[in-house]
Amino acid sequence: MPTLESIKNRLNEKYKKDIAGSETLYGDTQLFLDIRKDVVRPICNDIISEGGRYLVSVGHDDGDRSGTLGLIHTFSFDADHFKVMVKTAAPADNPVFDSITPDIPNAGWSEREYIDLLGMKFTGHPKPKRLILADDWPEGIHPLRKEVPYNLVPPAAEDVAYQLDECPPGCSVVPVGPFHPSLHEPAHFAVFVDGETIKGCDYRGFMTHRGIEKLCTTQVSYNEVPFIAERICGICGSVHATAYSQVVELAAGIKIPRRADFIRTIMLEIERIHSHLLWLGVAGHLIGFDTVFMQAWRVREQVMWLAEKITGNRKTYGMIVIGGVRRDLTPELCDDLLKVVANIEKETMTIHRAIAGDTAVHKRTKGVGALTREQVVNWSLVGPVARARNVDIDARRDHPYAAYDEMKFDVPVVDTMDVWGTVLVRILEIYEAVKIIRQAVEKMPGGPVLYEFHDPIPPMKHAITQVEAPRGEAVHYVITGEENRAERWRVRAPTYPNLQGVPAMLMNNQFADFPIIVGSIDPCFSCTDRVEVVDMRSGKASVIGSGELEKMSRKR
Amino acid sequence: MWLTSKIKQVLLVLKPGVVTLKYPFEPRPVPKNFRGAPHWDHHKCVGCGACSDHCSARTILVRDLCQELRVMLYDASRCTYCGKCADICPEKAITMTERFELATDNREDLTERLELFMLTCKRCGRCYDMENTNLIERLDMKGYRYDNLEQRAFIRKTTEQFDEKMLKKSDEYKRPTKVEA
C-alpha cells in the first residue's frame, strides 16, 4: 500500500537529478513534484503503476513571470487518500512536451486542449487534432495565452470543416448530432457502422465552449466565480460551486464554519437525489419505457420544490460562496426536508421494485455498453459508470470534503459491467443520499454559516479538490493570483473523462443502443434532434428525424 | 416475473393519479424565500452602490451625472437572480420579489432606473443621500427625487456643472460589445 511519503521517496531515489523540488501540502494529502520535462512520461507511468488514477492535466501561461508554459499532470490515489501533482514547464517560444497519452489514454483530451488553447506541442500524441476551438478559429491564436484578450472575436471563415477519422473499411458513417436528444450539448458523433453493429466512432464537440476559465481569470473576482461555476452544469451546479469554493478556501487557508459544511453536504445530496431521479427517467425514456420517465420525474418534483423553499430557486441554488453558505437551514426547513426525503425513499423503493424484475428493461440494458474492469481503469472513468463496472471509487469517501468525514454511508458497487449496473448504482445511491441527509440534519452543529475574511488571498498557491457529482467526480484545480482573482482555474467535469470512454462502450453494440449507451454516462438532453445517414458507397445523404431514431431505439 | 413487474407498474401509476398542475391557468404560489425579480425601493436607497460592487453579473450601473445627481441603472437582461444585491444592501432597499414571469419583447421592461439626489458633506466633500439622512436640508428644496431630469433647476449649486453628455451616455447605455480581431 503506497503512502505519500513512500511515493515521494521512491521517485526521488529513481529520478534524483530530474526532480527539482517537492512539496507536501494541505495536511499531507497533496504532493507537488517539480520535474524536468524530459521525464514526464516515465514518472507518470511510475505513478500509474503504483496505483495512481489519472485525473486531469492543467496547462497555464506563466510567460510574464518565468517565460514558460506550465503543465501539471494530476493523479489520485483513492484507497490511500492522497493526490500527486507533477509540475513541469517548457519555454513559451518552444513549448514541446512528451505526450503521456499513449500510456494514459484519458490524457488525450487534456493535451489536445492545450494544443488548442496554449499552443503546446506534444510529441507522440496519437491524435493531435483540434478539440476545443471552432473549426474556423485562425491558427496561431491561443486564447489562454495572457496576451490574448478575453473578448477577442476573430472573423468567421467559410469552407472549413473538421476532418473526421478514417472510416474502417467496409463500414458506413452515421453522423449523430450536432443536435441530438442523447447528447449532453451540441456535439457531433460520427458512428462507424457495419450493418447495425457499431465498429467505432469519432467525436467532435465543445461547440458550446464559452471560455469561462479565461473570463474568470481575467475579468471577475473570486467572489463572483461561484455563481459562474454553478452555471457550468445545469444538473450539478452546487457541485461546481462547492468545488470552486473549496479549492480557493484550501489554497487561501480559510476554515469555514462547521455548520456551513453540513449545509453544503445537504445541498449536494439534495442535488444527487434529483439528478439520479432525472437520469432514471431519461434512461427509461430512451429505452421506450415512459412509465419510469413519468413516475421518476413525478417523485423528483418534490425535491425541486424543497430546494426552492430552502434556497429560493429550483436550480442554480446560489447557496454556496467562498467562506460558507448564504442561507441557513431553519428548524422548520429541516422538518420539511426530513419529511420530503422520507417520502422520496418510499416512492423510489416502489419504482425500484417495479422495474427490478422487469425482463423488458433487462433485455435493453443487460450486456449493453459492456466494458471490462481493466478498460475502465485504463480509461480512468468515474462515477456510476465506473462503479457499475466494479471499480470502487467515490470522492466522498476517498477524499472527504464538507461534512462527509462524519457521515456513515455505503458506496454501492456492482459488477454487471453494463448499463443495467449503472441503473442499479444510481437507484442505490438515492437511498444512501437519503441516509446522509438524515445524519447531516441530526448531527448539524449550531453557529454561523458564513465566515467573513478580510485578508487578501496569497498569490501563486496551487490546490486541487475533488467533489463527487451525481454523474461522477468533478475536479477543480486553482492557482491563486493577484488582483483578487485566480491566475488559473481548471475545471474537469465528470463527463470529460466518461465521454472519452464512450467509443469503447459503443464498440460492437447495436446502433439502436447508441442513445442509451451515450445516455448512460448522463450527458444532458436537448430535444431538437436530427440524424443524418450518409451512405459512403453511393454518397447519398438521407435524413432521419427524431421520431425515427427514437422509434428504432424503442422498437428493440 | 414479467407479469408481476407489470402489475407493480400499473399500481405505481394508478396510486398517485394525476399530479400535473393547472399552471398557467391557475397561478402557482412561490415559497417565502423565492428569488424573483429584484426591486429597488427609492425611498430607502441611499445610493451607496454596494449592490453594484457585489453584483456577480455586473448588471447594475452607477453613474454620477454631477455632484448632486446619481443615476442607478439595473439591466435585468442578464441578471442571474442570485440575490446578492438584496443580501448586501445596508438599507434593505432591495427586495427579491415574487415575480418570475418576466418574459418580454422589450428590454426596457426589465430595466429599473433610479435618479438619486445627493448632497455634499461639508466636512469631507463626499456626497451622501439627503432624503433619509438630512431632514433640515430637505426643507429648502422642493420636488427632489421625483423630478425628471429636465427640471434640474431644482438642483442647487451645480447646475452649471451638469453634464449633458454624461446624461445622454447613461440614457443610451448598452452592454459592452465584442472586440473584433
Domains of chain A with bracketed CATH: 4-164 (3.30.460.80), 174-208+494-556 (no CATH), 212-493 (1.10.645.10)
Q: Of the candidates B102, B46, B101, B95, which has an alpha carbon nearest to the alpha carbon of residue B76?
A: B102
Residue in B6, B32, B56 closest to A227 by CB: B56
Max CA pair span of chain A: 72
- Residue B156 pLDDT greater than 50, yes or no: no
**pLDDT above 70 covers what percent of chain A?**
93
pLDDT of residue A532: 33
Q: What is the rounded distance in angstroms from the CA atom of residue B17 to the CA atom of residue B42? A: 48
- Among B4, B6, B12, the residue to mutate for chain A (most A Cβ within 10 A): B12
Interface of B with A (CB under 8 A): 1-2, 4-6, 8-9, 11-13, 16, 19, 30-35, 54, 56-58, 80-84, 87, 96, 176, 178-181
Q: Is residue B21 part of a domain?
A: no
Using a CB-CB distance cutoff of 8 angstroms, which residues of chain A are in contact with residue B83?
312, 318
Q: Which residues of A touch B99 (CB under 8 A)?
A: none
Residue in chain B closest to A321 (alpha carbons) equals B84
Q: Tell whether A298 lies on the interface with B, counting CB pairs under 8 A.
A: yes
Asked if A311 lies within 8 A of B33 by C-beta distance, the reply is yes
User: Is B148:B59 a contact under the CB 8 Å cutoff?
Assistant: no
Say how far apart CA A499 and CA A486 lie, in whole Å: 28
Count: domains in chain B: 1
Distance CA A381, CA A58 (A): 18
Residue B9: inside a domain, yes or no? no
Contacts of B9 in chain A (CB under 8 A): 291, 354-355, 358
State the Cα angle at B35 between B50 and A248, rounded to 5°. Answer: 60
Q: Which three cell numbers stand for residue A398?
A: 476517498
CA distances from A366 to A106, A139, A421, B98 (A): 26, 46, 8, 47
Question: Which residue from A154, A224, A312 is facing B33, i.e. has the nearest CB?
Answer: A312
Residue type, A476: H
CB contact, 8 Å: A316 with chain B? yes
**In-domain check, residue B56:** yes
Q: Which of A24, A111, A14, A11 is nearest to A52 (CA)?
A: A11
DSSP track, A301-348: HHHHHHHHHHHSSSS----EETTEESS---HHHHHHHHHHHHHHHHHH
* Contact call for residues A35 and A454 (beta carbons, < 8 A): no
Q: In 3D, which of A406, A441, A440 has the Cα closest to residue A335?
A: A441
The closest alpha carbon to A99, from A116, A122, A121, A82, belongs to: A122
CB < 8 Å to A308, chain B:
30-31, 34
Who wins on pLDDT, A182 or B51?
B51
Residue B151 resides in a domain: yes
Q: What is the dihedral of CA A394, A399, A405, A408, to 10 degrees?
A: 20
**Residue for grid cell 476573430:** A154
Q: Which residue has the cell 426530513?
A: A338
Q: What is the mean pLDDT of residues A349-363?
A: 89
How far does the CA of residue A167 sit from the closest CA of chain B (Å)?
A: 37
Residue appearing with cell numbers 465566515: A451
Q: Which of B6, B11, B83 sits opposite A318 (nearest CB)?
A: B83
Mean of the per-residue pLDDT values for chain A? 86
Q: Is B37 a member of any domain?
A: yes
What's the pLDDT score for residue A207?
Answer: 78
Question: Residue B178 and residue A354: Cβ atoms within 8 Å?
Answer: no
Is residue B67 assigned to a domain?
Answer: yes
Range of the domain at B139: 31-171
Question: Searching chain A, which residue's CA lies closest to the CA of residue B14?
Answer: A295
Say whether A358 and B2 touch across the interface (CB within 8 A).
Answer: yes
Q: Is B41 part of any domain?
A: yes
Q: Which residues sit opposite A96 in a β-bridge?
A: A121
State how far Cα A336 lies from the chain centre.
Answer: 31
Tell me the chain B residues in contact with residue A319 when contact means C-beta distances shorter than 8 Å: none
Tally of CB atoms within 10 A around B169: 12
Q: Per residue in A293-321, pLDDT tens?
A: 999 999 999 999 999 999 988 888 889 99
> For residue A112, which of A57, A188, A52 has the smallest C-alpha distance?
A57
Cβ-defined contact of A357 to B179 (cutoff 8 Å): no
More confident residue, B18 or A548: B18
Question: How many percent of chain B have pLDDT more than 90?
Answer: 4
**What grid cell was written down for A303?**
425535491
Residue B151 has pLDDT above 60, yes or no: no
pLDDT in tens, B32-44: 889 999 998 888 8
Helices (DSSP H) in A178-236: which residue ranges?
212-218, 225-230
Rounded distance between C-alpha atoms, residue B142 and residue B13, angstroms: 68
Chain B residue with minimum CA distance to A292: B9
Q: For A43-63, how does the pLDDT look when each residue is reduced to its tens digit (9 = 90+)?
A: 999 999 988 999 999 999 988
- The single-letter code of the amino acid at A496 is Y
- Enumerate the residues of chain B whose CB falls inside 8 A of the CB of residue A291: 9, 12-13
What pLDDT does residue A149 have?
87
Asked whether residue B176 is assigned to any structural domain, the reply reads no
ipTM metric: 0.77
Name which of B2, B34, B56 to mutate to probe chain A: the one with the most chain A Cβ atoms within 10 A of its Cβ: B56
Q: Using the predicted structure, report yes or no on whether residue B140 has a pLDDT greater than 70.
A: no
Which of A153, A155, A310 is facing B179, going by the closest CB pair?
A: A153
Unique residue bearing C-alpha cell 496576451: A147
In chain B, the residue whose alpha carbon lies closest to the alpha carbon of A310 is B33
**Residues of A with CB below 8 A from B87's CB?**
326
Lowest average pLDDT, out of A429-433, B3-7, B122-126, B157-161, goes to: B157-161
d(CA A214, CA A275): 28
Are the C-beta atoms of A180 and A205 separated by less than 8 Å? no
A541: confidence class by pLDDT, cuts 50, 70, 90: very low
A118 pLDDT higher than 50: yes
A355 touches chain B (CB under 8 A): yes
Q: How far apart are the first and last CA of chain A?
A: 47
CB contact under 8 Å between B87 and A350, yes or no, is no
Q: What is the CATH number of the domain that holds B98?
A: 3.30.70
How far lies A8's CA from each of A13, A47, A53, A98, in Å? 9, 10, 16, 22
Of all residues in chain A, the one with the smallest CA distance to B88 is: A326
8 Å CB contact of A308 and B83: no
Residue B13 — pLDDT band, cuts 50, 70, 90?
A: confident
pLDDT in tens, A189-239: 888 998 889 988 888 878 778 788 888 888 888 888 898 888 888 788 899
Q: Do B9 and A350 touch (CB under 8 A)?
A: no
Q: Distance, in angstroms, between B82 CA and closest chain A CA?
A: 6
Residue with cell 503503476: A49
pLDDT given at position A551:
63
Beta-bridge mates of residue A292: none
Q: Is the dihedral of CA A163, A165, A170, A171 positive or negative?
A: negative
Examine the pLDDT at A527 and tell me if it is beyond 80: no
Chain B contact probe: residue of A133, A221, A232, A313 with most B CBs at under 10 A: A313
pLDDT of residue B150: 43
pLDDT tens string A162-175: 888 888 888 888 88
User: In the predicted model, is pLDDT for residue A528 greater than 90?
Assistant: no
- Grid coordinates of A39: 521525464
Q: Which residues in B lie closer than 8 A to residue A309 (C-beta atoms)?
A: 31-33
